[in-house]
Structures are given as structure tokens and as C-alpha cells.
Structure 1
């Protein structure tokens, strides 16, 4: 990984600066698209309703809330597709699979149905790149920029370091393409030859440990005035870009 950023100077962005910087660039990246590498095995998704239900132990309600997002995902991913932007994500999965990963794979399964291309990669497949440290959390926006994303120990987004040097962006893009090709794709979002991480149908993963249907979920946050779930990025009144709808902030910032 050091070869990708060898000698390059990045610009540190606090969280409040990272989100608008990302969004300002996103809508002009075109077919080169959005590429995301997820290496951590848990993120704090804040007050995203399905995540709140999952954390409270109500696995069934959590999956129901994911299903209820389908019409909104269809609309928002449609806008991105119409803009000519490709969406690709590499999700690294460790064994044993964490409850968070089981939950996230359901989200990713639905997103894949509406246009995001997801590749799931066993952690042992990336061991050759992690001899000194884990792979970083990366987000590549076309030929515009690559962000190395930061997090607190609890998995809360904590800004990013932005690199815009063309050679650094190109190397990052090539690396994510390589990882993407190594992973497993398709309806089940599974590594090749493995049928234990998920299923071909949404909402069919086994209930994670610690999530019991007999537990009452915590009260869900109320939806905002604009009809978006809390944690969704709202646009400025003069922002001409398509709306983000149900894209929770974590889709952008993590």
C-alpha cells in the first residue's frame, strides 16, 4: 500500500469538510465511477433505522426496514445510473463473520439489485497486502480524488485524507479494480464456492448472535421534515445535483 501513496502529500479533511468535498466531486466523475474498499468489520451507522433495530436486538424488524427502502433505493440509484456514474464496492470479510457484517450484507444485497456492484473478498485473500498493517479504508472518485477514510476506535467516521495527484488516483483505482476482480459477486454476495455468508434472497441471513426476536427494539428516530431518515445528507436549496434520498451519511463518509 505504501507504493500507492509513495511520497504523496495528502490534505487532511475534518468530517465537516469531507462530506461537501466528496459531494461536490461525485456528480462529475462519470463512468470511471465510485470505488469503495471496506476493510473494517464494524462501523457505527448512527441513527440509520435498520441499524438501530439491529443494535437493539430486533433482527426481523431490522430486515423489514431494509425491505421498506426498496422504492427509495430504486429512485436514487436510478438517478445515479442516469448520470452515467458506476458504483463498485469491495467488502473484505473476516472469519468468524461479525454480526455487523451479516447485517451489512443484507443492505449490500439490496443495493446490488438496484445498480451498485459489490465484490465480497475473504480476508485471507488480502493477507499479502497486510504484512505490516491492515488495508486502509479507501474511496476513489473517478479520476478526481482518492480518500483515505478515518474512524474512531468505535467506528465513527472521523474525516479523511484526500489525494488528487493523478498518479496516486490511478494507482488506487487499479488496486481496487484488482481486489474487485478477486472477490465473489452475484445475487448471494458470497466469496467463490462459499454459501455460508448470505443467501440468494434478501433478508434470509441467519440471525446474528446477540439479536433475539424476543427483545424489544429501541424507539426508532423520527423522519426529518424532508421525509428523509435521520443521518441522510440533505441538499442545499440551490444544489442542482440529484438528491441523495435514502443514502445515509455513512454511504458517503465511510
Structure 2
């Protein structure tokens, strides 16, 4: 199977090491942050909103997610003031998983705060993924460092593969920028595909 990072030297960091390295990269940010999310189910056991969603309490899950909106707006205001931004590509398979229904509500709050979120349908990636492999869970921090986040088999973040080859970072950035440009803005997608859905029946999917 093709692999976007085949042959690229990477360093594996456990979760603590990854988070510490990410903080250093964020403090020295020198360009736009690019993020791709491909998996349709993650687990976020330290997120109170996700815990409420998981317990089947949809109203509380949404209310808890909304509590951080002021802090999010301040974060994106600071990021934009520095001349940078955060661009997310959310790849979506239909029908939506229950997790993704919740996650798109959360990501919409981030978009309202200033994140640049666009949706790409997995069904439109056939030829691209045949060429480069399944799009990984990529995070590119400006021009200096990138990560492929490792969520293991259970969807819980447990570390990341770090790389810093400028040519590889440029290649990954170009790929994500192209996907972002081809994608649909989150808001119309959300209104059409998510807003009218009833609360998920099975929070385990």
C-alpha cells in the first residue's frame, strides 16, 4: 500500500514527548498550522464534552463544548495577529459516525472562533489515496516540523511520528493546501448534513 511518508526519517515520540515537542513548535511557530483528520472515530477520554457524548447526554456534551468559546476566540485572534492561522481538513465518510456528528459540532465552534475548516468527502479521494495512500492524521507546524499522530487501534492518541525534512514538510503542506482548497467550507456542509440530525442513538460508534 502506498505511504505518503514512505522512506522519510521520523522519530517516534510517546504522548508526553509529543505534547512537549508540540508546545515547543507552537512557541516557535513560523507559518500556518495545517491539520488533516481522516479517521471517523476517535476517543477523547480527558474531554468532558466527549465523556458526556459517550454517556449519551447530548445536551450536556454540546453545552460543555461551548464553554471554551471565549478562550478559543482569544487563541485564534492571537494566532492571526502573528500573521498565521490554523487550517483543518476534515475528511468525512457518509453516513456519519456518531463520533463524527459530535466532533463536527465541536469543530464548528472552532471555525466560528477563527479556525479555517473545510470538509472533504472520502468518496472524492479515491485516485489520490490510490497514489499516496490513506491520508494520515497529519499536523504540520509552520515550516519546521510535522507529525503523524498515532491513535493506535482504539482511537486514543498515544504519540506521534515526528519529521523535520523541509522538502517533506513542503510536500505535505502542498497536499493539505490542495485538499483544503478543494473542500467545502464547514458551515454549509454542517447546515446540510449535520444540523438536522437527531442526537446520535449509539454513542459507541
TM-score by length of 2: 0.89
What CA deviation, in whole Å up to 9, does each residue of 1:8-43 have, x standing for no partner?
21111111111111110113324x311000000111
1:206 matches 2:198: yes
After TM superposition, the structure 1 = structure 2 runs for residues 58-207 of structure 1, keeping only pairs within 5 Å, are 58-131=57-130, 133-190=133-190, 196-199=192-195, 205-207=197-199
Q: Does the C-alpha gap of structure 1 residues 107 and 205 become closer, same or farther in structure 2, counting only changes over 3 Å?
A: farther
Contact 1:139–1:146 under 8 Å retained in 2: yes
2-structure distance, mates of 1:27, 1:63: 30
Gaps of 5+ in 1: 212-254
Task: Looking at secondary structure, tell me which structure has more helix per residue.
Answer: 2
CA-CA distance at 1:187 after TM superposition:
2.5
Once the two structures are TM-superposed, the CA of residue 2 in structure 1 deviates from its matched residue by: 5.1
Instruction: Give yes or no for the alignment of 1:15 onto 2:52.
Output: no
Q: In structure 1, how many angstroms separate the alpha carbons of the residues matched to 2:2 and 2:19?
A: 25
CA contact (8 A) 1:109 1:188 kept: no
Segments ≥4 residues shifted beyond 6 Å: none
Deviation digits for residues 72-110 of structure 1, max 9, x if unmatched? Answer: 222232232333331000000111110011001111111
| Equivalent position SS for 2:147 | strand
**SS at 1:131 equivalent:** helix
- Post-superposition shift, 1:151? 1.3
Q: More relative contact order in 1 or in 2 (CA 8 Å, sep 6+)?
A: 2
The 8 Å contact of residues 150 and 157 in structure 2, kept in 1 or not, is answered as yes
Q: Is the 8 A contact 2:151 2:158 kept in 1?
A: yes
Q: CA deviation at 1:3?
A: 7.4
Q: Distance in 1 between matches of 2:75 and 2:106?
A: 15
| Closer/same/farther in 2, CA of residues 14 and 3 from structure 1, 3 Å limit | closer
Distance 1:96 1:186, change over 3 A: closer
Count matched residues. 202
Preserved contact between residue 38 and residue 92 of structure 1 (Cα < 8 Å): yes
TM-score for both structures, normalised by structure 1: 0.73
Q: Secondary structure at the match of 1:187?
A: helix
